[in-house]
Structure formats: C-alpha cells, structure tokens
C-alpha cells in the first residue's frame, strides 16, 4: 500500500505567462496582465495529485524572491511542500501566447547553480525523511552544477530503502540514471530511441525497444508518451497501446507532468498497470484542453478515463 509520496524537483520555476495579439520583431508588444504559476516537473506532479485528491509532498530547492513566491503559490493550491533553502535565485520561465494564432512561445531559463555543499544537504535531507516515502517521482531538468552522478546516487538511495522511483527527465541525466533501474520510466518516443541507441522509432518498434530496456533491468515498467497518438504501456508480461482521446487542444504545457500525476494516482490506490496508463493518458489529454500553463481539470480527466476504459 502506498501511503507516502514525494516528488523531487531539482530545477523548480515560477512560470510567468501572458498573451499578445501578435509577436512582431522590434515592436513594443503590449501584453495582457501576467499570470504566475508554480512550475517544474515534480512540482506539477504534486499539483496534479492534489487535484485528484492524492496527498504528496513536493521537495525542491528554493532561493531568493522567486523561491518565496513559488512557496506562496503552492500554499495557495494546498500542496504540501518541503522547500530547502539555497543561495541562488529560483528561476522564472516566460510563456507568451500569440492570441491571433494560438501559437506558444516558451522561454526557459537555466536556473541558478546548486553548489556541491547544497547538493550534499539535499541528499542528506531526503535520506532523513521520516517516514520515508513509498513512492518517489524524480522529474524535470537538472540545474547547473548538478550532474548525472548525483541523480544516480539519489535514485540508488531510494531503491536501497525500498522506495519505488518514477523517473521523468531527459538527456544525459536520463541515460545515466536508468543504469540504477528505476521502477517506472516515462520517455517520449524520441527519448526512447536515444536510450535504445537507434536514430528513430515508430509505433511498431517502440514497444520492442521498451521491452529490451526492461530485459536489461533498466526499468520494471515503461510508459512511452506518444503525444496525440496516446501511449504504450510495456512491462515484462504485457504491452498495451492506449489511444489518446480526440479533444480540442489549446496548450501542451504541463501535459507530460499531468500524465505522470494521473499514473501515480492509480498506483496510490493499487490499481492495475493498464488503468494507470489510461489515467495517465486521460490527465495528459485533459491538460491540453486548457490554455496557457494550466494543468488538467479533474472532471475532464475522469470523463476521459471513463471513455478510455470502455
């Protein structure tokens, strides 16, 4: 039984979003009033879980004025947090929607460097958690100063304490961390191709590539995100393709994190892997129905899950 869930976001952000009729070079663009929302992979997962009535704790480094704002925004959403003070300013991303075309322009900042001493403090703080979590979601990009070795060390520590880890990152961090064999991976098809050492994959070859990673001990369960084509659920015993429901897409921001939140919600109630993947696709699809940086609405996600379960 999963009683204690933690999400780890090493590179959190405050997402600042606005809209303008048209983006034109060298013109003064008069934007709408900005909106501020919490951001970062694991933080968004905790936000999504809160909407589904599932408790979790969002752990993240927090620094400066933006860090305080991030903590306040999460408190407003009733998300339980465990911020760890760091010296650098928490980053702020900027998203602009061109309202005349609905095109989105995303400006992602790298974040401040996390020092070696701060990394040691983060590691010690996580290992001192009491009670220790049953399930950990490590999600999002790595901030400057944090290399893949730290992520592997963190993942190894969770596994040694019997905690199942869901890993949702990218690049070298993902390539190296899977050597520790996390419980669940959620790559997109491009990331799966890179992990498999091939140039590209398609719908027919993705499930076999995922199965090979499982045979190598790099994960127990893999859910391959296929965007508008849904997802593949792959375990050592079963493979399922879950088609994405047809919805009116307004934004893809937060869809991947919403997908992870949906999957964790089913794991928390000890549901089947198939229902886990269906709820993930339902929440990810529901997130695309909302404009800007908003996540999913619970009613939309539950309606889509019922449709997928028919």
Look up residue 81 and give its two tokens. Answer: 């947090």
At residue 251, the pLDDT reads: 78
Q: Give dist(CA 284, CA 247) in Å, integer.
A: 11
Residue 280 and residue 154: Cα distance in Å, rounded?
25
Report pLDDT for 6: 98
- What mean pLDDT do residues 17-34 have? 93
CA distance 12 to 61: 7
Confidence of residue 290 (pLDDT cuts 50, 70, 90): confident
pLDDT in the model for residue 249: 84
* pTM, two decimal places: 0.94
Question: Minimal CA–CA distance to 209: which of 228, 227, 188?
Answer: 188
141 within domain boundaries: yes
Please report where in the chains the tokens 């950990």 appear, as a residue: 136
Residue identified by tokens 């900042």 is 109
- The secondary structure of residue 78, as a DSSP letter, is T
Encode pLDDT of 101-151 as tens digits. 988 898 999 989 999 999 999 999 999 999 999 999 999 999 999 988 999
> Which pairs from 116-120 meet CB under 8 Å and 24+ separation?
116/145, 118/61, 118/86, 118/87, 119/145, 119/146, 119/150
Could you identify the residue written with the tokens 């305080």?
68
Q: How confident is the model at residue 83 (pLDDT cuts 50, 70, 90)?
A: very high
Q: Where residue 252 falls among pLDDT bands split at 50, 70, 90?
A: confident
Q: Return the SS3 of 216.
A: coil
Give yes or no for residue 291 having a pLDDT over 80: no
- Structural domain boundaries enclosing 37: 5-19+33-308
How many CA atoms does the CB half-sphere of 214 hold within 13 Å? Answer: 22
Picking from 79-88, 104-113, 178-187, which range would have the lowest pLDDT averaged per residue? 104-113
Question: For residues 73 and 93, what is the distance between their CA atoms, to the nearest angstrom?
Answer: 15
Q: Mean pLDDT across the chain, nearest whole number? A: 93
For a pLDDT cut of 70, what percent of the chain falls above it?
99
**Inside any domain, residue 25:** no
Q: Provide the CB-side half-sphere exposure for 233 (13 A, CA).
A: 20
pLDDT at 1 over 70: no
Helix, strand, coil fractions of the chain, as percent rounded to 5: 40, 20, 40
CATH number at residue 53: 3.40.1190.20
Position 273 in a domain: yes
Give the residue carrying structure tokens 């009535």.
53
pLDDT higher than 80, residue 229: yes
Of 188, 174, 116, 98, the closest CA to residue 142 belongs to 174
Q: How many domains does the chain have?
A: 1
Secondary structure of residue 217 in the 3-state scheme: coil
pLDDT of residue 193: 93
Domain assignment present for 26: no
Residue 28 lies in a domain: no
State which H helix or E strand residue 5 sits in. strand 5-8
Per-residue DSSP letter, 77: T
Report yes or no on 301 lying in a domain: yes
Backbone phi, then psi, for 278, in 5-degree steps? -60, -45
Give the three-state DSSP class for 266: helix
Q: Contact at 8 Å (CB) between 66 and 91? A: yes
Please, which pLDDT band fits residue 250 given cuts at 50, 70 and 90? confident
Give the active site residues.
257
Quote the tokens at residue 233: 């659920």
Integer Cα distance of 303 and 173 in angstroms = 35
Say what the pLDDT of residue 293 is. 67
- 55, part of any domain: yes
pLDDT-derived band at 292 (thresholds 50, 70, 90) equals low
- Residue 139 forms part of a structural domain: yes
Residues in the chain: 310
Q: What is the pLDDT of residues 158-175, one digit of tens each?
A: 999 999 999 999 999 999
């Amino acid at each position: 039984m999963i009683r204690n869930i933690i999400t780890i976001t090493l590179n959190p952000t405050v997402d600042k979003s606005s809209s303008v009729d048209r983006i034109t070079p060298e013109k003064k663009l008069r934007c709408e009033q900005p909106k501020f929302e919490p951001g970062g992979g694991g933080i968004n997962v905790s936000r999504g879980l809160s909407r589904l009535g599932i408790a979790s704790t969002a752990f993240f480094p927090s620094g400066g004025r933006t860090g305080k704002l991030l903590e306040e925004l999460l408190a407003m959403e009733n998300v339980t947090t465990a911020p760890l003070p760091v010296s650098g300013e928490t980053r702020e991303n900027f998203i602009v929607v061109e309202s005349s075309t609905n095109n989105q322009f995303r400006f992602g900042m790298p974040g401040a460097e996390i020092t070696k001493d701060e990394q040691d403090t983060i590691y010690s703080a996580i290992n001192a958690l009491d009670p220790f979590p049953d399930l950990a979601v490590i999600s999002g990009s790595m901030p400057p100063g944090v290399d893949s070795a730290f992520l592997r060390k963190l993942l190894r520590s969770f596994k040694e304490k019997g905690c199942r880890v869901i890993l949702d990152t990218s690049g070298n961090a993902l390539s190296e961390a899977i050597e520790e064999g996390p419980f669940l991976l959620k790559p997109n098809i491009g990331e799966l191709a890179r992990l498999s050492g091939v140039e590209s994959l398609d719908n027919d070859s993705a499930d076999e590539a995922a199965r090979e990673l499982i045979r190598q001990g790099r994960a127990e369960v893999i859910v391959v995100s296929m965007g508008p084509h849904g997802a593949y659920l792959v375990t050592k015993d079963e493979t399922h393709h879950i088609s994405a429901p047809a919805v009116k897409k307004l934004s893809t921001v937060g869809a991947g994190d919403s997908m992870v939140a949906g999957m964790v919600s089913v794991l928390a109630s000890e549901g089947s892997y198939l229902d886990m993947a269906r709820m993930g696709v339902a929440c990810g699809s529901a997130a695309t129905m909302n404009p800007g940086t908003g996540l999913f609405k619970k009613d939309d996600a539950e309606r889509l899950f019922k449709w997928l379960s028919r």
